[in-house]
Amino acid sequence: MTEFYREYLAVAVLIGAALALVGLMLGVGKLIRPVRPQADKYITYEAGSDPVGGWGQSNVRYYVYALLFVIFDVEAVFIFPWAVGLEPLGIFGLVEMVVFILILVLGLVYAWRKGVLRWA
């Protein structure tokens, strides 16, 4: 067997071990636990409150936060390479990045003024 396949053998062993472990734990649990079926036990657990049934729908308000996160998260893509190359870029690079970040902040100011950040 070549080196390449030997490396993948480790992956296969790991998968096998994981499956065996899960099977073992569930199997042992099934052997030693008492079985007393009740209807209530089969209801989906929803943080202690009564389950609603069907598909739950998350509040559309979360979407705006997700959106803000996506935008600001992705802008980090530009900030990391800039941070690495900050020294050779010097003052020019600093000014450019400040302009870039200010424009981003403008987006946040917009969201704030439009009341998006208030949980009403």
The CB density around residue 71, as the number of other CB atoms within 10 Å, is 13
| H or E element in which residue 72 lies | helix 61-84
Whichever of 32 and 91 has its CB closer to another protein, that residue is: 91
Q: Give min distance, CB of 45 to another protein, in A.
A: 27
48 vs 74: CA distance, rounded Å: 37
Helix (H, G, I), strand (E, B) or coil at 46: strand
User: Which residues, 53 to 112, sit near another protein by CB under 8 A?
Assistant: 60, 63, 67, 70-71, 73-75, 77-78, 81, 88-90, 92-93, 103, 106, 109-110
Q: Give min distance, CB of 10 to another protein, in A.
A: 16
Question: Which amino acid, one-letter code, is at 19?
Answer: L
Binding site residues, another protein, CB under 8 A: 1-5, 60, 63, 67, 70-71, 73-75, 77-78, 81, 88-90, 92-93, 103, 106, 109-110, 113
